[in-house]
């Protein structure tokens, strides 16, 4: 019997594989990756999902201060934030509101 037959025969395997929602033991589902690139001096050159009127460095600072364990540094002066879509939308609105005042 191969592994696909075992998974198909086991009702427990089918229910654990289909857990899109956040449960007690599972982390939240990541739907959005915000990519960014840095200049050689460490300032932000480009960043995704930036609210209109907010500078790239200000958006990076806001995300860094308002999220936990969601940033991943990459090689070549790049990085990314992994966040649920609803959280990105809420952060964009809050940052735009904060920068407007």
Rounded to an integer, what distance in angstroms lies between the CA atom of residue 11 and that of residue 48? 41
Strands across the sheet containing 78-83: 44-47, 32-38, 78-83, 71-74
* In the chain, % of residues over pLDDT 70: 73
pLDDT tens, position by position, 39-88: 999 999 999 999 999 999 999 999 999 999 999 999 999 999 999 999 99
Residues counted in the chain? 101
Written as six digits, the tokens of 23 are 């449960």
pTM across the whole model? 0.71
Helix (H, G, I), strand (E, B) or coil at 50: coil
């Amino acid at each position: 019997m191969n592994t696909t037959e075992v998974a198909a025969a086991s009702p427990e395997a089918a229910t654990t594989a289909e857990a899109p929602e956040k449960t007690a033991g599972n982390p939240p589902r990541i739907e959005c990756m915000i990519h960014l690139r840095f200049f050689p001096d460490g300032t932000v050159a480009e960043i995704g999902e930036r609210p209109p009127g907010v500078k790239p460095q200000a958006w990076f600072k806001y995300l860094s201060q308002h999220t936990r364990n969601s940033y991943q540094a990459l090689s070549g002066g790049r990085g990314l934030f992994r966040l649920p879509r609803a959280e990105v939308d809420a952060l964009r609105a809050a940052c735009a509101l904060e920068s407007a005042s």
